[in-house]
Amino acid sequence: MGGFILAIDQGTTSSRAIIFDDGMTMVASAQMDVRQHYPQAGWVEHDACEIWESVVATARQAIDKAGIPASAIAAIGITNQRETTVVWDRKTGRPFYRAIVWQDRRTAEICDSLKADGYEKLVRAKTGLLLDPYFSGTKLRWLLDNVDGLRERARMGGVCFGTIDSWLIFNLTGGRVHATDATNASRTMLYNITDGIWDDELLGVLAIPAPLLPDVKDCADDFGVTDKSILGAAIPILGVAGDQQAATIGNACFDPGMMKSTYGTGCFALLNTGGDRVASSNRMLTTIAYRLDGETTYALEGSIFIAGAAVQWLRDGLGLISRASDSGALAVAADHGQRVYMVPAFTGLGAPYWDPQARGAIFGLTRNSGPAELAHAALESVAYQTLDLLVAMRKDWGERRIGTVLRVDGGMTNSDWTMQRLADIVANPVDRAATQETTALGAAWLAGSRAGVWPERAAFAKAWRSDRQFLPTMPDTERQAKIAGWRDAVSRTLSRPLSP
């Protein structure tokens, strides 16, 4: 057995495969885009078979680029877009329907009905989540209600449900293993995060048959061995975590009070609360950060649906830039005397508002507003939304218990202007990770440490490095005025008034 680790990072817009050596250095990678389908307004789907094919293709490419035999890979770690829901035939492995993506809002009416029936308190108590279309449970309910014959087949045990990690594990192992990890299970709205079990009461509320659910394992665990025909060797799968939890691990946020924020398609901030399962009074999510050796570590999480996607809209929707990386330079050229705000509620607003009916809006336009001001507003919206999360978390867990530095990663962090503006708005130092592959690194550490070729937790944390620290420099009067303008803009965007 060799000392290499293969990390599979299956995201919303692409699949990536990265090979790390036994010194935790990236030696090869491959990436392939994944198409998104929009059959109706508010609906977002993926072809699960295309996802599987892209994972196999990128894994093979990465192995070839690394110039190693597949037998040199000690283990595979998987990280994935969370909440995206797949149902497939247990015998044939064929999906019954396209994967319903986490961004999809088709189940808003189901959520509203459950709220009207008084179930949100029960969901919060057991799962730490809110009743929102974001999570997998109502997506699965919709599939069972709308795919002919699916519910009856599910009752008879012929159907597998899973998030993307389960779908990949099933296929990688030739259909021998139907499993998930605790972090992905915690995002389904079906998993009791205190007792660590699929919750019978929640399954009853959502009318979901238990036989279609996967086994739930620790994040570093035995998830089976790949079929030799797929990658050229039988390789153990030893690590699995949802993408945001994997990024938390990759940023070495192992101590209570440490916090990371990842800026990709959306933005997701996780605050490690240790063994404390903190019940949020400010519409944050309580979730599982990771489970290792049977011990659960919890987190408060804030989810922003649109971050990098706002820059993609500037590029693809408006044609204002040719590359996403051009947005920072364009923002620098903006007239800073203008107060233009973009509230990017293209698919509703996430934490702390949780308003699926809200829609995007731009405020403060003048005749002098142009592409630069729009780029400025798009990038700045990410900083304001992050502040909203930080304020809520501080209220929930206490100002003094939260670390003073925010660790960040993801594609948007490549923009120095955006990171400086983030530090200015949140009034905290911001540490940019030296490696932008923290999500894949987290999955690789789970697998590598389990395989015995990577260091244990403390040594891994000690090796974490920052590329650059951004310190706040904006005068407080200017900062407060900007924040007041943002909050006014959000209040005008919501489909319902803000609570006092």
pLDDT at 349: 83
Q: Which residues contact 66 (CB under 8 A, 6 or more apart)?
A: 4, 19, 27, 28
**H helices present in 235-370, as ranges:** 243-250, 308-312, 327-332
Tell me the per-residue pLDDT of 190-211, one tens digit each, with 9 for 90 and over: 999 999 999 999 999 999 999 9
- Percent of the residues in the chain that have a pLDDT greater than 90, as a whole number: 68
Res. 310 pLDDT band, cuts 50 70 90: confident
- Percent of the residues in the chain that have a pLDDT greater than 70, as a whole number: 98
Q: Is the Cβ–Cβ distance between 26 and 435 less than 8 Å? A: yes
Does the pLDDT value for residue 318 go beyond 90?
A: no
Does the pLDDT value for residue 437 go beyond 90?
A: no
Structure tokens at 154: 């599910």
> At residue 243, what are phi and psi to the nearest 5 degrees?
-55, -40
- Length of the chain counted residue by residue: 500
If DSSP codes are grouped into helix, strand and coil, which group holds residue 396? helix
Tell me the per-residue pLDDT of 95-117, one tens digit each, with 9 for 90 and over: 999 999 988 989 999 999 999 99
- pTM, two decimal places: 0.87
pLDDT at 433: 87
Q: Is the Cβ–Cβ distance between 299 and 271 less than 8 Å? A: yes
Q: Is the Cβ–Cβ distance between 76 and 222 less than 8 Å? A: no
Res. 298 pLDDT band, cuts 50 70 90: very high
* Spatial distance between the Cα atoms of 329 and 346, rounded to a whole number of angstroms: 24
Q: Hey, how many other C-beta atoms are within 10 angstroms of the C-beta on 394?
A: 15
pLDDT at 294: 94
Q: What is the mean pLDDT of residues 466-478?
A: 93
Does the pLDDT value for residue 343 go beyond 80?
A: yes
If DSSP codes are grouped into helix, strand and coil, which group holds residue 34? coil
pLDDT at 28: 95
pLDDT at 399: 67
* Spatial distance between the Cα atoms of 161 and 178, rounded to a whole number of angstroms: 9
pLDDT at 198: 97
Amino acid, res. 335: D
Least confident of 107-116, 240-249, 277-286, 378-387: 277-286
Does the pLDDT value for residue 498 go beyond 70?
A: no
Res. 93 pLDDT band, cuts 50 70 90: very high
* Spatial distance between the Cα atoms of 54 and 50, rounded to a whole number of angstroms: 6
- Of the candidates 352, 340, 412, the residue with the CA atom closest to the CA atom of residue 388: 352
pLDDT at 499: 57
DSSP 27-91: EEEEEEE---B-SSTT--EE-HHHHHHHHHHHHHHHHHHHT--GGGEEEEEEEE-SS-BEEEETT
Does the pLDDT value for residue 341 go beyond 80?
A: yes
* Spatial distance between the Cα atoms of 388 and 107, rounded to a whole number of angstroms: 26
Least confident of 5-14, 159-168, 349-358, 424-433: 349-358
Break the chain into its structural domains and give their ranges.
Answer: 4-243
Largest separation between any pair of C-alpha atoms in the chain: 66
Report how far apart, in Å, the C-alpha atoms of 412 and of each of 14, 321, 375 are.
Answer: 16, 15, 13
* DSSP-derived pairing of the beta strands 430-433 and 406-409: parallel
Res. 353 pLDDT band, cuts 50 70 90: confident
CA 406 to chain centroid, in Å, comes to 17
Upper half-sphere CA count for residue 332 (Cβ side, 13 Å)? 11
* Spatial distance between the Cα atoms of 224 and 240, rounded to a whole number of angstroms: 12
Q: Is the Cβ–Cβ distance between 294 and 332 less than 8 Å? A: no
Structure tokens at 199: 């919750």
Structure tokens at 70: 């597949």
If DSSP codes are grouped into helix, strand and coil, which group holds residue 127? helix
Q: What is the mean pLDDT of residues 441-467?
A: 93
pLDDT at 84: 96
Question: Averaging pLDDT over each range in 71-80, 268-277, 318-327, 330-339, which range is the top one?
Answer: 71-80
Q: Which residues pair with residue 181 across a beta bridge?
A: 217
Does the pLDDT value for residue 425 go beyond 80?
A: yes
Res. 474 pLDDT band, cuts 50 70 90: very high
Does the pLDDT value for residue 317 go beyond 90?
A: no
Does the pLDDT value for residue 1 go beyond 60?
A: no
Structure tokens at 101: 């993506």
* Third-level CATH fold of 4-243: Nucleotidyltransferase; domain 5 (3.30.420)
Least confident of 82-91, 131-140, 378-387, 404-413: 404-413
Q: Which residues contact 425 (CB under 8 A, 6 or more apart)?
A: 380, 383, 384, 386, 387, 474, 479, 482, 483
Q: Is the Cβ–Cβ distance between 15 and 34 less than 8 Å? A: yes
Mean predicted lDDT score pLDDT of the chain: 91
Least confident of 94-98, 125-129, 279-283: 279-283
Structure tokens at 395: 């209220």
Res. 325 pLDDT band, cuts 50 70 90: confident
Tell me the per-residue pLDDT of 372-408, one tens digit each, with 9 for 90 and over: 888 899 999 999 999 999 888 888 887 667 777 789 9
The DSSP output letter for 316 is I
Res. 306 pLDDT band, cuts 50 70 90: confident
pLDDT at 497: 64
With residues binned 3-state (H G I as helix, E B as strand, rest as coil), the percentages for the chain, rounded to 5, are: 40, 25, 40
DSSP 153-219: HHHTT-EEEE-HHHHHHHHHTTT---EEEHHHHTTTT-EETTTTEE-HHHHHHTT--GGGPPEEE-S
pLDDT at 60: 97
Does the pLDDT value for residue 327 go beyond 90?
A: no
Cis peptide before 352 (omega within 30 of 0): yes
